Amino acid sequence: MFNLITKKRGNIKDDTLSGLTVALALVPEAIAFSFAAGVPPLVGLWAAVFMGFITSAFGGRPGMISGATGAIAVVVAKAYHYGFDLGGNEIGLQYVFAVVMVAGIIQILFGVLKLGHFIRLVPHPVMMGFVNGLAIVILMAQFSSFKTAGAVEEWLPQQELILMGILVALTMVIIQFFPKLTKAVPSTLVAIIVVGLISYFGVNSRTVSDVLFEGTGSAVLSGKFPMPALPMDIEWTATNIKFIFSIAITVAMVGIIESLMTLQLVDDLTETRGKSDREAIAQGGANFLSGLFGGMGGCAMIGQSLINIKSGGRGRTSGIVAALALAFFILVGGAVIGQIPIAALTGVMFMVVIGTFEWSSLTTFGKVPKSEIFVILTVTLITVFLHDLALAVFVGVIISALVFAWKSAHHVTLHPVDQEDGSRIYNLHGLLYFGSVREFSERMSPAKDPEDVIIDFKDAKVCDYSSMEALSALTERYKKAGKRVRLRHLSPECAKLLENAGSLVEVEVAEDDPHYTIARV
């Protein structure tokens, strides 16, 4: 109905202008995600620079934007707090960098082993539960902005709380309605500027510098280019190594899932095809270097990628320009960034939550199978209460696979047809695999069948070792009854599967089979 995305080839002009627009929108989001992770703003900002530049230059999906994201922020927050409890802010950051670097290596291996195509096996209900859980987790993390800093968090005084709420609401209103006036300037940036000016000239509201001072003792947002440094202050005990790898695996899987989901979306919008394995390698390299240079890591950003595509960005230039422009903002605009109100960033995050949540999932009740709703709720609850996005997706895929196997097991049918020569042909329909072999075997009765039985596989398939073993056992049952059972109309794939099994199975193929006449008894 509405042609929101123009499907066209990119050019340098469009890519450059689009990249500048994306860079402006990246600043507030990167800072907001930094606070969501509990790390200083520069950690998120430099992560956005490294993630954006490397994935745009070397990734498998031109036009897609990567940076610091809420999904990664939620996970690395666990690493930061773990290290913080052991030795304070600096050690907490060391654990974040170590986790991100290890996660990068895992993602590189994921791409090298060409596992990117497995994202297609993730069912849609799992995706819905994933994004819903992520949205709820990000939402819950924002409530800390309405509380005082310190060992014991309490709600802000009533007057400050009301002011905070008003500024947050104003930010959200501007983001929502400003695009109706013009789309030439990102509404997120406009909201930050307006609320920032109100805070600076009108009311006294907490800013990035205030929070930075509370966490580090310094209100200065230094914009110096970071130098590479390995996390050498970590004690590499077995417990710490186990923790780092467990969180790194989660970061890697969450990053891969969200990046490849975004890749598929951009593919559909531009009617082109990206390379998932190449993107996984680029994401891994970007995360490794991000951790090495003091960034919190990240992955592809659905919102920023859509901004880029809508603004005309199609090629690698758009993402490269966005990253370089963001680096310029950091190096020369640190003092300005420090004056951004926390209320504005919280409002931005609330809008991210609203845009992330799959509202259509609320209308699925009574319209889709109950098993699908169960998967959505399970993945959402695991994400919210365990804060383990990778585990949530894994559990969702397993449940979906089991539900499919259970339903498919009841779709195997046998239709007996008696022949004039006294034999009986069973026309088999469906997939013969581990979930259906029991029902198949129970329907075959050597005692009641004639001496010569043929199972016709014209509309069926032998799928796995369980089905081959079932056919072998069935052949043995008929032999003991003094009868004969043969297979007919095996597809080339099925026949090859049985042939490769060799002596593991004993079956007989009918001589009149039009495809194969090899008998093995």
DSSP codes, 248-259: HHHHHHHHHHHH
In a domain, 60, yes or no: yes
The pair of structure tokens assigned to 429 is 């329909």
In a domain, 319, yes or no: yes
Distance, in Å, from the CA atom of 104 to the CA atom of 93, rounded to the nearest integer, reads: 17
Q: Domain limits at 41?
A: 12-150+157-226+237-358
User: Could you tell me if 19 and 321 are in contact, meaning their C-beta atoms sit under 8 angstroms apart?
Assistant: yes
Residues 349 and 453 in one domain: no
In a domain, 333, yes or no: yes
Strands 66-67 and 299-300: antiparallel
The pair of structure tokens assigned to 345 is 């960033």
Query: What is the number of domains present in the chain?
Result: 2
Is pLDDT larger for residue 340 or for residue 400? Answer: 400
Task: Name which of 36, 163, 126, 115 is nearest 283 in CA terms.
Answer: 115
Residues 251 and 315 in one domain: yes
Q: How far is CA 38 from CA 78, 147, 242, 460, in A?
A: 9, 14, 22, 56
Backbone angles phi, psi at 460, to 5 degrees: -145, 165
Residues 344 and 418 in one domain: no
Quickly count helices (H) and strands (E) in the chain: 19, 6
Residue 515 has pLDDT above 70, yes or no: no
Distance, in Å, from the CA atom of 43 to the CA atom of 216, rounded to the nearest integer, reads: 13
For the segment 288-314, the average pLDDT, to the nearest whole number, is: 85
Q: Express each pLDDT in 242-296 by its tens digit.
A: 999 999 998 998 899 888 878 877 887 777 888 889 999 999 999 999 999 999 9
Q: Strand order in 413-418's β-sheet? A: 413-418, 424-432, 452-462, 484-488
Dihedral sign, Cα of residue 347, residue 351, residue 352, residue 353: positive
Residues 348 and 445 in one domain: no
The pair of structure tokens assigned to 413 is 């049918």
- Which residues, in sequence order, are bridge partners of residue 484? 452
Residue 218 confidence class, pLDDT cut points 50, 70, 90:
low
Residue 216 confidence class, pLDDT cut points 50, 70, 90:
low
- Identify the CATH number of the domain in which residue 437 sits: 3.30.750.24
What pLDDT, on the 0 to 100 scale, is given for residue 516? 42
User: Could you tell me if 342 and 215 are in contact, meaning their C-beta atoms sit under 8 angstroms apart?
Assistant: no
Q: Express each pLDDT in 112-129 by its tens digit.
A: 998 877 777 788 888 888
In a domain, 141, yes or no: yes
| E strand spans, 110-266 | none
Residue with the two structure tokens 């093995």: 520
Distance, in Å, from the CA atom of 458 to the CA atom of 414, rounded to the nearest integer, reads: 12
Residues 200 and 336 in one domain: yes
Instruction: Specify the amino acid at residue 404.
Output: F
From 311, 341, 358, give the residue that closes a domain. 358
Residues 428 and 348 in one domain: no
User: Could you tell me if 126 and 397 are in contact, meaning their C-beta atoms sit under 8 angstroms apart?
Assistant: yes
In a domain, 373, yes or no: no
The pair of structure tokens assigned to 377 is 């709720």
In a domain, 128, yes or no: yes
